[in-house]
């Protein structure tokens, strides 16, 4: 009798297991073997209008919680200049914050990972004890793009160490009038020097291989490199009498 019931239990177990497997729906967008465009099309076809709006929305760290990310399907987070989880937060506290935000995103219906970006403009400048480099006005004065590239690599390492994959840098403003209040963020009044200093980008992201399709974003090492972002708007710094 005891033997029969244990056989029954094993059978019931396999029955439940088979139902569970069948119930786990195959999701094409989560299948890394599918081509990228097929995964994107599949994901977008599943999204509601509300989810699409949420994914296109970026909110500041200071109003972000895992619950808010999930509730509004938020796509990305800005950690703006001076923004930090606590006044003297350690790298570990930063990392924990990034993990909590990511968990919030992954717990949402479609489980779309969130993009977290930080204003790491001259080093990982929001982080206590991080390496702070001179601001862009000083770096432009060096006329040394290879040095700026090394600074990009050092910054990427420290940004990654806090769990963040993306920085809103470099600032490629061309400051045409020093009366403008944000001239310190500009490498030069000469656009050729600003252009040369975009060597920061391969420093942040890693060098793009020669045969790489240029219309794809590129980060060559997820442990030590981060995505860059040349900013701000076109014509940034082209003020009239220092006024935007």
Ligand X SMILES: *[C@@H]1O[C@H](CO)[C@@H](O)[C@H](O)[C@H]1NC(C)=O
| Site residues, ligand X (CB under 6 A) | 60, 62, 80, 83, 88, 90, 128-129
Minimum Å gap between C-beta 79 and ligand X is 9
Nearer CB in complex with ligand X: 48/58: 58
C-alpha 126/C-alpha 168 separation (Å) is: 12
Nearer CB in complex with ligand X: 87/213: 87
Minimum Å gap between C-beta 9 and ligand X is 54
Minimum Å gap between C-beta 90 and ligand X is 4
Minimum Å gap between C-beta 102 and ligand X is 20
C-alpha 62/C-alpha 85 separation (Å) is: 8
Minimum Å gap between C-beta 25 and ligand X is 39
Nearer CB in complex with ligand X: 74/197: 74
Minimum Å gap between C-beta 116 and ligand X is 15
Nearer CB in complex with ligand X: 169/194: 169
In terms of Cα–Cα distance, which of 115, 116, 106 is closest to 70? 106
The token pair that represents 196 in the structure block:
């040369």
Nearer CB in complex with ligand X: 10/86: 86
Nearer CB in complex with ligand X: 61/149: 61
């Amino acid at each position: 009798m005891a033997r029969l019931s244990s056989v029954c239990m094993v059978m019931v177990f396999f029955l439940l297991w088979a139902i569970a497997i069948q119930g786990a729906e195959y999701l094409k967008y989560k299948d890394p073997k599918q081509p990228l465009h097929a995964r994107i099309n599949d994901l977008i076809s599943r999204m509601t209008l509300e989810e699409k709006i949420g994914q296109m929305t970026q909110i500041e760290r200071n109003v972000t919680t895992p619950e808010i990310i999930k509730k509004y399907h938020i796509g990305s987070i800005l950690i703006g200049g001076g923004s930090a989880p606590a006044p003297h937060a350690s790298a570990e506290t930063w990392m924990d914050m990034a993990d909590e935000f990511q968990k919030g995103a992954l717990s949402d219906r479609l489980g779309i990972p969130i993009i977290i970006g930080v204003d790491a403009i001259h080093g990982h400048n929001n982080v206590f004890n991080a390496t702070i480099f001179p601001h862009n006005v000083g770096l432009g004065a060096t006329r040394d793009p290879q040095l700026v590239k090394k600074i990009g690599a050092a910054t990427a390492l420290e940004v990654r160490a806090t769990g963040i994959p993306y920085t809103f840098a470099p600032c490629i403003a061309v400051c045409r009038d020093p009366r403008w209040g944000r001239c310190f963020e500009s490498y030069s009044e000469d656009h050729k020097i600003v252009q040369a200093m975009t060597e920061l980008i391969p420093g942040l992201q890693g060098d793009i291989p020669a045969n790489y399709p240029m219309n794809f974003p590129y980060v060559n090492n997820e442990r030590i490199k981060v995505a860059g972002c040349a900013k701000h708007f076109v014509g940034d710094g082209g003020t009239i009498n220092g006024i935007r």
